[in-house]
Structure 1
Amino acid sequence: MTTTQRSTLSRPALLLGALAAATLMSACAPLLVGGAVVGTSMVVTDRRTSGTQLEDQSIELKAKTRVREAVGERGHVNITSFNRTVLLTGEVAADVDKVAVEQAVAKIEGVRTVVNELAVMGSSSIASRSNDAVLTSKVKASYIDAKDVFANAIKVVTERGTVYLMGRVTEREANRASDIARGVSGVQKVVKVFEVITEAELAEIQPKQAQK
């Protein structure tokens, strides 16, 4: 959806702005959104194993080094690994750089798949990135408000108004999460990068989480 209107600043908008700023400052600090803690508490409700979560963190760190070696400062590349699927977003200067980044990341041990969403264009502005952080926060808050979406199972990444959704979810959950994200003001497009699991697989995961 394309939105041309901007609403006046309200208390919810101020809260979302503060949340976005906190997200930019630290991805690890626990945050309070809609009465629910988002951050370190997600570890215990994540549908990945603890080992896979650590592996994803390791992949992201290694990928940052590999990308720097491949393209240097020629672009702005964001790397998100979820269950060893790596999403590349941002901007690079040329097609050859886009290919070089994907190849460098694909060679990292443990990486299963690389989803290359890099755009060949100039790097986004600070204002654009700040707006993306606000949109990410609004989508997350919408999931919590919806009640019928397991918010902690979904990773939200926003780049130039496009929202990418990652996570291990059922087809039902994937469709519902996508519909909610599309309804958030300012979201231009929603791209699903989900790993779809069956309802039976979900039932297997949930008892294990309850035991932690």
Structure 2
Amino acid sequence: MSRFRLSGMLTRTTLVIGLATGVAAGLQGCVLALAGAAGGTALVATDRRTVGAQTEDREIQVKALSDLSKNLPDAAHVNVTVFNQRVLLTGEVPDLASKQKAETIVRGITNVNAIVNELAVQPASSFSSRTNDTYLEGRVKTELIAYKDISANNFKVVSERGIVYLMGLVTVDEGNIATDATSRVSGVEQVVKVFEYIKPEQAAAATAAAQSTSAPAAANAAEEPTVGAVPDSSVSSRPIDQQPPAPVINSSPVHPGSSGKAM
């Protein structure tokens, strides 16, 4: 298994990295069809990002993984998640220099607007830990489906060592509902918000457009499998949103033709 992975509270503690950044009007819903690697079945999901933004996010992700794999030590285990040109780095690196180098590499990639560097300086996580993270991601997505006031399709879920990161273009209320729901999933140790907030009217327009576009294709789309509950675990009772926000690093201006290499 590659040490670089493409990704795609109250336990009750929440680290807030939410960027209350207004998104320009004109958000459009779209359908993102992903061909199944084995059976070729198309999975259809609505997405509030524009088609162009989705394409850029995939290009950033592929480029980042390639450059990180070439330039970081073999002991590094780095996951890259990109949403709306914002890059989330999770995993483990052997030293602080590697953590900083990973950030430098990603900052050099074209179209990267911001970096959230959550790499931990510690030995790489175990296979069982990564398996549990994959399981938690599925369990959280299943939990979000049960809430009628939000759409699970609007959230990207990433789990690392039991810490769940939530990304997406959402309203403040949607973000709070999803955070609370995620915090109630057994096995989740902490929730970290990495949202980009939009206004309710923008969300409504984007959702309506997405539903209109995806309706014909949804009839033939395969459903994602659900997963069972994970074992009970103790949680913290610290109130939500009372920890200081983790740093968000805005990238330097990027010029066309940037190599994405570390300085």
Give TM class, smaller chain.
0.7 to 0.9
Structure whose residues are more often helix by fraction: 1
Q: Distance in 2 between matches of 1:109 and 1:28?
A: 26
Residue equivalent to 1:58 = 59
The answer as to 2:166 corresponding to 1:192 is no
Q: 1:166 to 1:68 in 2, by over 3 A?
A: same
After the TM superposition, which segments of 4 or more aligned residues of structure 1 sit over 6 Å from their partners?
Answer: none
Over residues 118-167 of structure 1, what are the superposed CA-to-partner deviations in whole Å (9 max), with x where a residue is unaligned? 00000000000000111111100001122222100100000000000000
* Residues 185-206 of structure 1: per-residue CA shift (max 9 Å, x gap): 0000000000010112112312
The yes-or-no answer on 1:116 pairing with 2:109 is no
Alignment of 1:1-212 (within 5 A): 1=11, 29=36, 40-42=43-45, 45-212=46-213
Q: Which amino acid letter does the alignment assign opposite residue 110 of structure 1?
A: N
The residue type paired with residue 79 of structure 1 is: V
Q: Which amino acid aligns with 1:165?
A: L
Q: Secondary structure at the match of 1:148?
A: coil
Q: Counterpart of 1:173 in 2: which secondary structure?
A: helix
Alignment partners' CA distance in 2, 1:135 and 1:117: 18
Q: 1:145 to 1:129 in 2, by over 3 A?
A: same
User: Is the CA contact 1:165–1:190 (under 8 Å) kept in the aligned structure 2?
Assistant: yes
C-alpha displacement of 1:28 = 5.9
Give the distance between the partners of 1:141 and 1:210, measured in 2 at CA: 20
In the superposition, the TM-score normalised over structure 1's length comes to 0.80
Name the CA shift for 1:59/1:98 in 2 (closer, same or farther; >3 Å): same
TM-score (norm 2): 0.65
User: Can you give the 5+ residue segments of structure 1 that lack an aligned partner in the other structure?
Assistant: 3-26, 31-38
SS at match of 2:43: coil
Shift of residue 56 of structure 1?
Answer: 0.7
2:127 alignment partner AA: I
Determine the C-alpha separation between the residues in 2 that align with 1:29 and 1:121. 34
- Mapped partners of 1:149, 1:74: distance in 2: 39
User: Quick check: 1:86–1:111 contact (8 Å CA) kept in 2?
Assistant: yes
Deviates more, 1:193-202 or 1:156-165: 193-202
Q: Distance in 2 between matches of 1:86 and 1:152?
A: 19
- Residues 28 and 40 in structure 1, CA contact (< 8 A), matched pair in contact too: yes
Aligned equivalents of 1:87 and 1:65: distance in 2? 15
RMSD: 1.7
